[in-house]
Structure 1
Amino acid sequence: MAKWGEGDPRWIVEERPDATNVNNWHWTEKNASNWSQERIKNLFTDATVTSDLADLKIKEVEKCEGEAYANNRKGKLIFFYEWNLVLKWEGKLKEGTGTKHKGKVTVPNLSEENDVSELDIQISVKDNEEEGEVLKEIMQSVGKEFVKEKLGNYITSLKEEFSKGMILPRKDEVVNKNDINNLSCGFDKKINMQSNASKKDSKKEVGLKIDTSTLKLTQKFQCRASEFYDAMTRIEMVSSFTRGPVKLEPVKGGKFELFGGNISGHFDKLEPPTKIQQQWRYKAWPEGHYSTVEITIDEKEDHTEVRLVQTGVPRGELEKIRENWERYYWTPIKQVFGFGAFITDSGF
């Protein structure tokens, strides 16, 4: 996002001879769900797990539920995927009775939010016989790493396959494939929200009396109420419109941190898809001072109306915070997700 008071060449739309997604400005999307299901099934069909103690094999995928999408947002590739997997395995000890035992491998949440190395992979065995339990322990040891390796292969191939044709060259520009293979939903660039508060103000002691005001805003979005609610509470969507890594726990009491730590707080109330209430603070405010943000989402016949009431805003910050909501929340949400041509910035 552009710095305050400066232009940004990325916002200048250049002409292309083919008139196709000029400068990759528009949000384009490819559904990778069917491809992903086939890829995962191929990776785990009759796949041998190497072990010195047992002959182990993952036979097939019993369940593969979820979705995957590849998006081009202003020349940046963003991958969304979320899968719940259940795999069937079988094996026998190399120095045992020769009895074959069967079990399952469960991967409850494979998504871009979780690193493959940190996946919670659960191993079970169908029977509790001694050899079955030994095989289960072996699968715990070598089978988990095998599954993680294969899922890493899936993610790599997803990005390689769906990078093709997603990033179009600008006029007189050639895109380097090395620049896009490893892009995901995160952006490294930090955005500093401008404020009137000085460094001296930020060091005020907790308990200092602050003169505050209440901010009221109304915005209209061309989307369903549930879509706007998701844009404010789903980590991959928040990462997209804030253009950077975020910390987000969308549960009562859950914490959030946006724009490189400049905005932080926690959720007081979540009532999908109609209400979000937060304790919200800007980093430069006096230590320990929070405002209360209440967002009411009202779906109409042809649009969704969003009303924001923010109490406890330091009086000198009121207009700047109003401007920041428009510049760093409402406008990017509309541009990134295509939520609308309606622009309203009036109190109520």
Structure 2
Amino acid sequence: MARLGEGDKRWIVEDRPDGANVHNWHWAETDCLEWSRNYLTNLLCNKSILDGEGILYIRTKELTKLEGEAYVNVRKGKIIPGYELHLVLSYEAEAKDSERNSVLLTEGSVEVPYISDENAGEDPDIKISIKDDGPIGKRLKEAFLAKGKPFVLEKIREYVDTMAKGGPAKDDLEVKKVASKKPIASNSNETVKNNSVSNTSAKESKKEKRKEGFKTISMSEKFSCRARDLYEILMDENRWKGFTQSNARISKEVGGEFSIFDGSVTGTNVELQEGKLIVQKWRFGSWPDGIVSTVRLIFEEPESGVTVVRLSHTDVPEEDRYGNATVVENTERGWRDLIFHKIRAVFGFGI
């Protein structure tokens, strides 16, 4: 260890007289609590959840509570968000009769006790309550659970994604990036050629490096059913909702889109052969931007009433956007415990 005053100055960041944080070398922390209050208010408040469906009307009102902390740390362009929030949102609910006369007008609340960067890849727990506990009040509460809860979760995911990109600090980062770019003029064709070769090599190197951080999940599961039955379960959104107990939208057309596990996973259908093959592009909301994986499910019937499904899930990143290195493990566990085992439990396809 060097003595005081004798260290290599290239590794020492001295305080500048002008107080500037050159290239964000130091940690720059931005308090985001008030920004979070305004951002979540715009996302959640005064939004129509139901507007007459089943003669029910539900509208969110205001954030009655947002407590905790929220901040974004930036150093040398690296963004590290931190937040632990307790949120309470009020809503108004009304039921009318067939002649559109009000039968019950009441209020309720949505409590999200813990929104945290530690659980950024998971949907938080939500508690729904309503002041009237009679039959009509219960019906309104159930309607909010069906329509309002997915809405709230979607907006919280939007907040989490925005924080991961820098929150209120994002604009400052973009300004610095633009300011740091300087045009390079050259009259030499050889210089242009060399730069082109250099850029191509850099892109190829970056591509190879990126692929090093990806894994493939392979799995084989056996079911006591016909292949077309298992295929239908995986491609039918109502059955998917049934065995996962989560919202889903699934197109049965090639090129069609799907959204499963309450929107945590989205993608498109690439190739579909009924009872034989499903090829899809999958993306998890917690993954870094631009990363899309490929899911291939092959269905085989080695004997009557027995189906073997072979899974190949390629280009799964080793880390999520928050630096957690458990993506492959969690994805593999999800296929096994939340999909294949749940299908057995609900539909009785043993083996």
TM range (shorter): 0.3 to 0.5
> Which is bigger in relative contact order (C-alpha 8 A, separation at least 6)?
1
Higher percent of residues as helix: 2
Which of 1 and 2 has greater Rg? 2
TM-score of the two chains, using structure 1 as the length reference: 0.42
TM-score of the two chains, using structure 2 as the length reference: 0.42
